[in-house]
Structure 1
Amino acid sequence: MPKNNKKKKLLISILATIFSVAFFASGFYFGQDYDKNSNYNNNDDRLKIFWQVFDKVKNSYVGEFDEKKAIYGATKGMVESTGDPFSGYLDPKDSKMFLTDLEGEFEGIGAELAIKDNKLIVVAPLKNYPAERAGLKPNDTIVKIDDIDSITLTLDQAIDKIRGKEGSEVKLIIIHKDEATSQEVKIKREKIKIDSVSSEIKKINNKNILYIQIIQFSKDTTKLMENIAKSIKNNQPDGIAVDLRSNPGGYLDSAIDITSMFVDGEIVKEKDKNNNMNVEKATKETVFKGIKLAILVDEGSASASEIMAGAIQDKKAGTLVGQKTFGKGSVQNLENFSDGSTLRITIAKWLTPNNREINAKGIEPDIKIDNPKDNSRDLQLDKALEIVAN
């Protein structure tokens, strides 16, 4: 969970100098003449053209000109000019929606999206929600959203179009990975509300195996995991299988906390734009250390999930089972502004404890196993349970 005295850091496939909206707004009301009374009121000549264009549009455009909308649009454009699909500026409306997502409650189809190779792709559909029921899978390409070509949309715009009120319908044209033909899918939106962690004891070969599924690394994840640790304190399981499949990421602090429960020492390293390295170490007691461990991963396991999987693999603390992970090795800072808007900006790359960079590469599992396409049996889970039960 983000610490109160730190900036919030995100690792998710839907944000160090801050350029605030309030700064732009400070020039609104200074005259109209560019040479004498321009809105531009700063010694930085790089902003002169911006204010000149702003004044020209404001004074000359024949229609109505929404100053606030223009400023939000300009700020979004500035961040998008980085070309980084994981950075973005969200106006108050979009920001509220984004922050609600991190709390695990929203209305939509239940899928994490990202831009990869200039295509809108599904990182992971959430289990038992509309996207998964409609057949969407990790690395599917979304070609169209309600007849609009997705290539013309930013990530935030695409998410906004797929979102909608509970009960309404969205039409998608998708292409499954390794298939050439597209197909139309109509999905009815639902209210999505999930706890980030669930668990159960499975009896395998007369042994008690603790199965933990982590949907995403949210604000509640550390607390939920601590509750699980307390519940087994006097009756430790013979093995643990942690399911990170289709987990798109979340808060960095949460990922570090959870990983710390399994391994100690270095968890992850961050390398900033000046190649300065910051090492994040374990933050919690290693309550699960020494218990046989398997980690389930797939193409939908991204970012914070890969931090946990990478640290477990580097330290040989468990066995990774499933498919190669997504490959998102960047860290985003989340900055909230007084008007309710939010900046999400990539500030660093992250590396595993053994200095592996996984961005666009992913992490190969120790045991690669594919589930049947018809999902008739979960071979990956069967293998993970077998490993920790033997």
Structure 2
Amino acid sequence: MSCLQKRVFRVGFLLILPMLLALSCWIQPAAALSEEQKVVVEAWRIVNRTYLDDTFNHQNWSLIRQQVLQQPLKDQEAAYKAIQQMLAGLDDPFTRLLRPEQYRSLQVNTSGELTGVGLQIALDPKTGTLEVVAPIAGSPADKAGIRPRDRILKIDGISTAELTLDEAAARMRGPIGSHVSLIVEHEGEDSKEIQLQRDRIALNPVIAELHSDPDGLPIGYIRLTQFNAYAPAELADAIAQLEKQGADAYILDLRNNPGGLLQAGIEIARLWLDTGTIVYTANRQGIQGSFDAFGPALTHDPLVVLVNQGTASASEILAGALQDNGRAKLVGETTFGKGLIQSLFDLSNGSGLAVTVAKYETPKHRDIHKLGITPDLLVSLEPITREQIGTEVDKQYQAALELVTNKSVLAGAG
């Protein structure tokens, strides 16, 4: 080998050696993540893959992951706080961490069982105030007269401005027979303290009765209080029983129904519709799916649906589907206006995430989020007791009764 060749070889080797050393450092395996870090990364990945807004509220989502993992996470509580810190930047009250107890409670709720005071709550997206979507029928909150849109200012003396949605819900849960104090404010009225005793809440979602109009026409009255796992089958059974009893028309009461399972709402719409789109959904790619009715409906009798400010989420999907398809007229007040869809995701330590993964539109492509659905006939109602619902004191019910028996008005339905 010539001197020149040796010199070139040595120079080349000297150049390559630092590169190899750098490469060896680069391919060193990263330090193993702690269990706390793994949970944080799981949560980050779920949101990264599924969240509706692919700008993540105009944030650098990858940078947020790096920043959070740089924090010391000494225990699970620190991991939970790190996840909540990440999610807070999305400015979406429906996308949230559910600690193991909260996650189990939510799963039990949608399966049809619950203990507590019986309130469906949400954060007002404009003010951040904790407000009531609807009380569950027959619950301690319902019996105490708490109404949709009531603002909950304090729970056991603690300001709700200092609490997340799930922290507020957790403070209202507790053993049967225990008490909780709420400071509640209704618009235009002074705030007041309400003492509630926690109880087991029956979530039988369907109340069905055969009523009649002044001329004796048999009317099937069905009150649906929640879209849990039992609701479609129980509603189908209620319609079948009322048909056997000779019902010639129906009033479906969705007032103060805060929603629940999306699939339950779709299946119930199919009970009333032969054909037609029930709801459109769109994820962050803009891909629009749809759910349709494929018949046959269980009844083609005239139908009026009662709605109010506590009619939310899956209730609005059902009301919008029946209204847009001309199957029913809506009576009451403008609905709550929740047009976002959440999915639940398990985390490895028993906690979970509720993540906004899609939005929905009615069959006529109405986006009702924060707007609600306007009924065909607007009828306001002063507060009435649970026992007065569906009676002569219930002005919205009376308006529905008059409408459902007016065949000329409902000629386009069915």
The CA deviation at 1:141 is 0.6
Partner of 1:272: 283
8 A Cα contact 2:39 2:348, kept in partner: no
Alignment-mate amino acid for residue 189 of structure 1 = R
Task: Give the Cα–Cα distance (whole angstroms) in 2 for the partners of residues 350 and 298 of structure 1.
Answer: 20
Instruction: Extract unaligned runs of 5+ from structure 2.
Output: 1-33, 42-61, 407-414
The CA deviation at 1:183 is 1.3
Partner of 2:268: helix, strand, or coil?
A: helix
Q: Give the paired residue count.
A: 343
Instruction: Point out the more displaced range, 353-362 or 273-282.
Output: 273-282
8 A Cα contact 2:39 2:349, kept in partner: no
8 A Cα contact 1:238 1:389, kept in partner: no
Q: Residue 202 of structure 2 is aligned with which of 193, 196, 201?
A: 193
Q: Residue 37 of structure 2 is aligned with which of 3, 18, 24?
A: 24
Q: 1:231 to 1:134 in 2, by over 3 A?
A: closer
The CA deviation at 1:133 is 1.9
Task: Give the Cα–Cα distance (whole angstroms) in 2 for the partners of residues 361 and 241 of structure 1.
Answer: 24
Q: Residue 69 of structure 2 is aligned with which of 45, 51, 54?
A: 51
Give me the identity figure in percent.
Answer: 35
Superposed CA offset, 1:269-294 (max 9, x none)? 11222322111112553112x21000
Superposed CA offset, 1:101-139 (max 9, x none)? 112322211111000131100110122221122221110
8 A Cα contact 2:153 2:185, kept in partner: yes
Q: Residue 93 of structure 2 is aligned with which of 77, 85, 88?
A: 85
Residue 71, structure 1, aligned to residue 84, structure 2: no
Instruction: Point out the more displaced range, 75-84 or 247-256.
Output: 75-84
Superposed CA offset, 1:13-65 (max 9, x none)? xxxxxxxx97933899xxxxxxxxxxxxxxx77644433322xx64xxxxxxx
Task: Give the Cα–Cα distance (whole angstroms) in 2 for the partners of residues 45 and 319 of structure 1.
Answer: 50
Alignment-mate amino acid for residue 51 of structure 1 = L
The CA deviation at 1:337 is 3.6
Partner of 2:191: 182
8 A Cα contact 1:311 1:353, kept in partner: yes
Task: Give the Cα–Cα distance (whole angstroms) in 2 for the partners of residues 285 and 265 of structure 1.
Answer: 11
Task: Give the Cα–Cα distance (whole angstroms) in 2 for the partners of residues 160 and 26 of structure 1.
Answer: 22
Alignment-mate amino acid for residue 202 of structure 2 = K
Task: Give the Cα–Cα distance (whole angstroms) in 1 for the partners of residues 394 and 242 of structure 2.
Answer: 26
Instruction: Point out the more displaced range, 186-195 or 325-334.
Output: 186-195
Q: Residue 297 of structure 2 is aligned with which of 286, 311, 325?
A: 286
Residue 388, structure 1, aligned to residue 404, structure 2: yes
Alignment-mate amino acid for residue 24 of structure 1 = Q
Q: 1:69 to 1:307 in 2, by over 3 A?
A: same
Instruction: Point out the more displaced range, 310-319 or 320-329.
Output: 310-319
The CA deviation at 1:98 is 1.2
Residue 122, structure 1, aligned to residue 138, structure 2: no
Task: Give the Cα–Cα distance (whole angstroms) in 1 for the partners of residues 64 and 249 of structure 2.
Answer: 60
Task: Give the Cα–Cα distance (whole angstroms) in 2 for the partners of residues 182 and 260 of structure 1.
Answer: 43
> Which one has a bigger Cα radius of gyration?
2
Task: Give the Cα–Cα distance (whole angstroms) in 1 for the partners of residues 294 and 395 of structure 2.
Answer: 34
The CA deviation at 1:389 is 3.0
Q: Residue 379 of structure 1 is aligned with which of 395, 398, 406?
A: 395
Partner of 2:70: helix, strand, or coil?
A: helix
Q: 1:304 to 1:284 in 2, by over 3 A?
A: farther
8 A Cα contact 1:104 1:192, kept in partner: no
8 A Cα contact 2:256 2:309, kept in partner: yes
Partner of 1:231: 241
Partner of 1:249: helix, strand, or coil?
A: coil
Partner of 1:50: helix, strand, or coil?
A: helix
Alignment-mate amino acid for residue 287 of structure 2 = N
Alignment of 1:1-390 (within 5 A): 24-25=37-38, 47-54=65-72, 58=74, 67-116=75-124, 117=126, 118-179=128-189, 181-204=190-213, 205-232=215-242, 234=244, 236-263=246-273, 264-282=275-293, 285-288=296-299, 290-373=300-383, 375=385, 377-390=393-406
Q: 1:382 to 1:27 in 2, by over 3 A?
A: closer
Partner of 1:280: helix, strand, or coil?
A: strand
Q: 1:247 to 1:26 in 2, by over 3 A?
A: closer
8 A Cα contact 1:209 1:241, kept in partner: yes
Q: 1:234 to 1:90 in 2, by over 3 A?
A: same
Alignment-mate amino acid for residue 270 of structure 1 = T
The CA deviation at 1:234 is 4.9
Q: 1:22 to 1:346 in 2, by over 3 A?
A: farther
Task: Give the Cα–Cα distance (whole angstroms) in 2 for the partners of residues 265 and 159 of structure 1.
Answer: 38
The CA deviation at 1:365 is 1.1
Task: Give the Cα–Cα distance (whole angstroms) in 2 for the partners of residues 246 and 348 of structure 1.
Answer: 24
Task: Give the Cα–Cα distance (whole angstroms) in 2 for the partners of residues 298 and 363 of structure 1.
Answer: 9
* Coordinate RMSD, CA, aligned: 2.3
Q: 1:186 to 1:355 in 2, by over 3 A?
A: same
Instruction: Extract unaligned runs of 5+ from structure 1.
Output: 1-20, 29-43, 59-66
Superposed CA offset, 1:1-23 (max 9, x none)? xxxxxxxxxxxxxxxxxxxx979
Task: Give the Cα–Cα distance (whole angstroms) in 2 for the partners of residues 273 and 193 of structure 1.
Answer: 37
Q: 1:49 to 1:303 in 2, by over 3 A?
A: closer
The CA deviation at 1:338 is 4.4
Task: Give the Cα–Cα distance (whole angstroms) in 2 for the partners of residues 124 and 45 of structure 1.
Answer: 39
Partner of 1:324: helix, strand, or coil?
A: coil
